[in-house]
Amino acid sequence: MRACVASLMAFPSPTVAMGVFLAGGLGAVFRYGLAAVLDSAVGPRVPQAGVMVCNVVGCLAIGFVAVAVTSPAWRAVVMAGLLGGLTTYSAFALFSTQALLDGRWVQFIGHLGAQLVSGVVAVGAGGWLARRMLG
């Protein structure tokens, strides 16, 4: 995974940059729709459920792609573009900050812990799954 992170930090060619741009738009639209559907399905019982599901699914996929995809260009398009658009740190941070400012300590700590732990576990699980599937 270390080489994967380094390859994402390299400056992309114009073609790769355009791929990241287009894939990022697709990921963001998918997140918007999926989060809206999930949030309306569960209602206020589980605030930000849609964002959390998008983040965890994106983390699982990023872990998988980090192991399974060897092309730096495709890694950039899929990880930084598609999955970067699918996942959202800013919405997670906004909700957490609002809970903190409102004094909803249990919700703040629960949301923070759930997002961070599930994201790290999902990345690890995605990498493990790729290694199992690809030998």
- Over residues 56-65, mean pLDDT: 98
For residues 126 and 60, give the distance between their C-alpha atoms in angstroms, rounded to a whole number: 5
> How far apart are alpha carbons 91 and 109 in whole angstroms?
16
- Provide the pLDDT for residue 43: 85
Burial of 60 (0-12, 13-18, 19+ CB in 10 A): buried
Residue 4, pLDDT above cutoff 80:
no
pLDDT in tens, 25-45: 999 999 999 999 999 999 888
Question: Does pLDDT of 88 surpass 70?
Answer: yes
- Among the ranges given (8-17, 58-67, 80-89, 102-111), the one the predictor scored with the smallest mean pLDDT: 8-17
4 neighbors 66 (Cβ within 8 angstroms):
yes
pLDDT, residue 12, reads: 74
pLDDT in tens, 61-81: 999 999 999 999 999 999 999
- What would the two tokens of residue 56 be? 């965890």
Q: How far apart are CA 127 and CA 75, in angstroms?
A: 14
What is the rounded CA–CA span in Å between residue 96 and residue 63?
A: 24
**What does pTM read for this prediction?**
0.87
Q: Which two tokens stand for residue 37?
A: 């559907």
Alpha helices (H) in 43-104, listed in sequence order: 49-68, 72-75, 84-86, 89-101
Q: Which sequence spans correspond to the domains of the chain?
A: 2-134
Q: Is the pLDDT reported for residue 56 higher than 80?
A: yes
